[in-house]
Amino acid sequence: MNEQQDEPKSQGGDSGKAARAVGLYFFSALEEESDDAAAYGLLLDAARTADRNGLDFVWIPERHFTRFGGGHPNPAVLAAAIAVVTRNLRIRAGSVVLPLHDPLRVAEEWAVVDNLSNGRAEISAATGWNPRDFVLAPEDYERRAVRAAENLRAVRQLWSGGEISREGPDGAEYRVRTYPRPVQPVLPHWITASGNPATFEYAGETGAGLLTSYGLFGPHELAERIGLYRRTFAAHHGGRGRVCLMVHAAIGDSGPEIRRRAQEPLRHYLAAYLDQQGSVTDPAVAAKRLDFAVHRYLRGRSLIGDRAEADQVLTGLFEAGADEVACLVDFGLPRGPVLDTVAELANLRVKISG
């Protein structure tokens, strides 16, 4: 693969203090007997509600071959649907697992989304980790980090109007440019980071925004990771970059009541998450780990509570260094409470922005 012009400059950061933003993150866990069509209906209705009430963005993940997130095998497809039922939300892939895909196809698909949304598309790039996913690209598993970086460079190059060279079936070299042309001249891009400090550094080096999860870290460790990203970003690009934290959310009139209602859906959801990791085989250890995770999320590591509790946690996330908070609302609660939570988040967004 040979890029034919210079890579476009970063669009990942801001030169000064960034405005606070609040949006949604979808990552449902499908049940074996679930109504999958209803899950997509909820996603679209929640996006409409968020758009109508002034939230800022929506993230859509990519997962394969598992009920945890498996309803989102191609974020560009759902992004296209969201694009035509909303007017203002930024529409983001959170994430595209780039080693699994030809960058030509990624550039084409997301340019379609950019046109359908009139310039609201963004992507976060992920390396991937699950060997099962790499049945789609088995030859790239061992070098997935390198492949992700190569493919992101190629996608950004194509987005900005560049060409790349590919060999055709006749052995000839073809220089290709992708169509349709996107609305945005430069692709807003992010890097998805979990535990590896090197990924936080890489996001800063490449001038990308940083997408990570609040639930992965304790307060001190989170501050260290964000600080590493900020310092690296400033050293390479100036400014401070942009950090988005994902957090589970369910907001109601009564904290105890909403936690009671959320407990079992959250337990099922986290059980599916831990199960797809496959790192614990002892049932007793797995049960203890699940109990700990549920308790942690219900007691301060989420926006599950009443309005005052959610306000306090949300304010704390911004004070900890977040520029944006992405609220995961589709972890198993019924449709009504989910849409109520979206409306409550919009009210909180007005409060923290004022």
| Mean pLDDT taken over the chain | 90
- The answer as to whether 294 is a domain residue is no
| pTM of the predicted model as reported, rounded to 2 decimal places | 0.91
pLDDT, mean of residues 123-150: 94
Percentage above 70 pLDDT, the chain:
91
The predicted structure's pLDDT at residue 10: 39
Q: What is the pLDDT of residue 166?
A: 94
Residue 4 clears pLDDT 60, i.e. is over it: no
Does some domain include residue 220?
Answer: yes
- Residue 64: what are its φ and ψ, rounded to 5°? -135, 140
Between 78-82, 128-132, 278-282, the lowest mean confidence (pLDDT) is in 278-282
| Residue 277 pLDDT | 66
Q: How many domains does the chain have?
A: 1
Instruction: For residues 125-139, give the mean pLDDT.
Output: 93
Whether residue 277 is contained in a domain is answered as no
* Mean pLDDT for the stretch of residues 325-345: 95
Q: How far apart are CA 272 and CA 265, in angstroms?
A: 11
Average pLDDT for residues 225-237, to the nearest whole number?
Answer: 96
Q: Which of 5-9, 54-58, 179-183, 313-317 is predicted with the least confidence, judged by mean pLDDT? A: 5-9
Q: How far, in whole angstroms, is CA 272 from its chain's centroid?
A: 18
41 falls within a domain: yes
Residue 287 lies in a domain: no
pLDDT of residue 76: 97
Q: In the structure, what pLDDT confidence band is assigned to residue 175 with cuts at 50, 70 and 90?
A: very high
pLDDT at residue 31, as a whole number = 66
What is residue 113's predicted lDDT score, i.e. its pLDDT? 98
pLDDT digits (tens, 9 = 90+) for 71-111: 889 999 999 999 999 999 999 999 999 999 999 999 999 99
Q: Which whole number is the average pLDDT over 329-339?
A: 94
Domain residues for 84?
21-255+306-353
Decide if 54 is inside a domain: yes
Let me know if residue 347 belongs to a domain. yes
Label residue 225 by pLDDT band (50, 70, 90): very high
Average pLDDT of span 154-159: 98
Among the ranges given (109-113, 276-280, 282-286, 308-312), the one the predictor scored with the smallest mean pLDDT:
276-280
Inform me whether the pLDDT recorded for 16 exceeds 90: no
Higher-pLDDT residue of 8, 195: 195
Mean pLDDT across the stretch 111-126?
97
Average pLDDT over residues 183-194: 96
pLDDT at 8 (0 to 100): 37
Structural domain contains residue 6: no
Is the predicted pLDDT of residue 3 greater than 50, yes or no?
A: no
pLDDT at 17: 54
CATH number at residue 340: 3.20.20.30
Q: What is the reported pLDDT for 188? A: 97
Return the pLDDT at 54: 96
Higher pLDDT: 320 or 233? It is: 233
- Nearest of 222, 223, 160, 153 to residue 186 by alpha carbon: 160
